[in-house]
């Protein structure tokens, strides 16, 4: 991490001790030269993280902006639904003994933030922090389907498609058709689209406002797949996410 960034964070930390400060006060608490603090405060103000209040040329103070509150709310929400989802994921894993994962959208990628692995000898293993494009796999496609049409169009116009397997969707119109199917039925399925010989099924996680904030999915080896097994897992997965919705305060009607 660059030294300037570290120092900027140290300046922000000073506001945990005192909410409104002059440059002199900041320099004293941060134990940095006044010129350095002045430069860092200017950069933080430009980034929208600090607010400068100027009453006169000799009376200038700084305070944290509400943008930091937005960051805090995002982190708090993320921790909340991960904390709520984790025990439900474990319970589902115990019932079906398959890989269960929780995925969020970060930028224009899907990121796996929670996984519970199967105990079977032949099994799939999920890695927290793994990323995937939004057009390949059940959870990524589900997250993509949660965007409005303009956002989807923008994404499809700028993304570079890679053919991970013969089943990977890499044509815009086919992806749009798939997204419509997902929206209609309320869940997503992937047949070896991102990883070969892997079947994925995902349902959305909604917050109290009805906003899709994550996708909960189950992935199984192709050798264990059958339509009966697929129907069984989808039923268990649907029941699990609906329990999570209730805890998060979502009371809307399930699309299916």
The answer to whether residues 108 and 55 belong to one domain is: no
Rounded Cα gap, residues 103 and 114, in angstroms: 7
Q: Does 254 map to a domain? A: no
Q: Are residues 61 and 93 in the same domain?
A: no
CATH of the domain at 9: 1.10.10.10
The more confidently predicted of residues 141 and 123 is: 141
Q: Would you mind telling me the total number of residues written for the chain in this entry?
A: 256
| Whether the predicted pLDDT of 96 surpasses 60 | yes
Shared domain for 10 and 80, answered yes or no, is no
- Residues 92, 240: Cα–Cα separation, whole Å: 7
Average pLDDT over residues 195-221: 93
Give the integer Cα–Cα distance in Å for 17 and 25.
11
Cα separation, 139 vs 252, in Å, equals: 21
Q: What is the mean pLDDT of residues 11-34?
A: 93
Question: Which comes out higher in pLDDT, residue 75 or 165?
Answer: 165
* Total count of domains within the chain: 2
Domain identity same for 32 and 88: no
Q: What is the share, in percent, of the chain residues with pLDDT greater than 90? A: 72
- Name the more confident of 94 and 207: 94
**pTM for this prediction:** 0.70
Residue 208 has pLDDT above 90, yes or no: no
Q: At which of 19, 37, 65 does a domain end?
A: 65
Contact yes or no for 24/37 (Cβ under 8 A): no
Domain boundary among 31, 65, 99: 65
> Does the residue 256 lie in any domain?
no
**Domain finish residue from 65, 90, 106:** 65
Would you place residue 256 in the very low, low, confident or very high pLDDT band (cuts 50, 70, 90)? very low
On whether both 45 and 84 belong to a single domain, the answer is: no
In this structure, what token pair is assigned to residue 200? 């994925």
Range of the domain at 79: 75-248
In the chain, the percentage of residues whose pLDDT exceeds 70 is 93
Residue 70 domain flag: no
């Amino acid at each position: 991490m660059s030294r300037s960034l570290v120092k900027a964070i140290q300046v922000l930390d000073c506001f945990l001790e005192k909410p409104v400060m002059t440059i002199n006060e900041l320099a004293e608490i941060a134990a940095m030269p006044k010129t350095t603090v002045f430069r860092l405060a200017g950069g933080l103000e430009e980034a929208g993280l600090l607010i400068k209040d100027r009453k006169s040329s000799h009376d200038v103070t700084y305070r944290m902006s509400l943008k930091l509150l937005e960051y805090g709310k995002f982190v708090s929400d993320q921790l909340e639904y991960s904390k709520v989802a984790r025990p439900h994921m474990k319970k589902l894993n115990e019932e079906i003994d398959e890989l269960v994962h929780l995925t969020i959208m970060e930028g224009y990628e899907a990121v796996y933030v929670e996984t519970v692995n199967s105990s079977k000898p032949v099994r799939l293993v999920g890695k927290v922090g793994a990323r995937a494009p939004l057009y390949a796999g059940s959870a990524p496609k589900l997250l993509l389907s949660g965007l409005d049409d303009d956002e989807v169009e923008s994404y499809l116009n700028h993304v570079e498609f890679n053919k991970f397997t013969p089943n990977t969707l890499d044509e815009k119109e086919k992806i749009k058709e798939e997204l419509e199917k997902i929206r209609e039925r309320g869940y997503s399925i992937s047949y070896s689209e991102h990883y070969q010989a892997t079947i994925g099924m995902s349902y959305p996680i909604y917050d109290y406002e009805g906003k899709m904030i994550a996708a909960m999915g189950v992935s199984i080896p192709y050798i264990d797949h059958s339509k009966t097994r697929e129907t069984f897992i989808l039923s268990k997965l649907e029941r699990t996410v609906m329990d999570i919705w209730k805890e998060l305060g979502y009371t809307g009607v399930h699309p299916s």
